Amino acid sequence: MYIYNLDRFRKLFRIFSTLSLLLFGTALYGEPPAVGTQAPDFTLSTPTGKTVQMSKELHGHNLVLVVLRGFPGYQCPYCVKQVHDFVDHATDFAAKNVKVLLVYPGPPADLDQHAKEFLAKQSDLPANIVLVTDPDYKMTNAYGLRWDAPHETAYPSTFILDKNRTVVFERISHSHGDRLSAQDSLDQLATK
């Protein structure tokens, strides 16, 4: 009788756990903003402590929002390459009145230091490109981009927002190397 009750309890627990995840999982993680919807606003800080609110960065500009893998325990070489590509095209973005906001997520311990090390691999960021850290995955979770697996932080993603914070383009990658290039972002901006 004891074994029967224990097996029954385990079965009920699995059913309850599955239902809870289905019912409440979206409360833990948001959905990525879809094309045609307004992107949720967020406030994060640069590695040097300057507070950056996305809607204020956007004010009067279109915005390319790039969510990097950040620091999953090492500096992601694809992130380094992608940021370098955007820096190389900074004048092209500026000519189109576009700002680029880079989000660098990761575990809170030493994330700002890791972000500074990451930036040391780049030339100085131009005025129209800003990097912020997401130490508690607040933005990453709100946007439904948390890659919750060992040695992962966020799905590499790019959103292009118009001056009203409306998403006009999105690309969410489910692999490390599948990134939107700066030129592809500029091409998307030209069609909007």
Which residues neighbour 117 within 8 Å (Cβ) at sequence distance 6 or greater? 75
Average pLDDT of the segment spanning 170-185: 88
Average pLDDT of the segment spanning 8-22: 49
Domain ranges in the chain are 1-30, 33-191
Per DSSP, what are the bridge partners of residue 44? 52
Backbone angles phi, psi at 72, to 5 degrees: -85, 20
Q: What is the pLDDT of residue 40?
A: 95
* Residue 118 binned pLDDT confidence (cut-offs 50, 70, 90): confident
Q: Are β-strands 167-172 and 157-161 bridged in parallel, bridged antiparallel, or unpaired? A: antiparallel
- The SS3 assignment for 170 reads strand
* Residue 43 binned pLDDT confidence (cut-offs 50, 70, 90): very high
Q: Which fold has domain 33-191?
A: Glutaredoxin (3.40.30)
pLDDT at 3 over 80: no
Average pLDDT of the segment spanning 44-66: 93
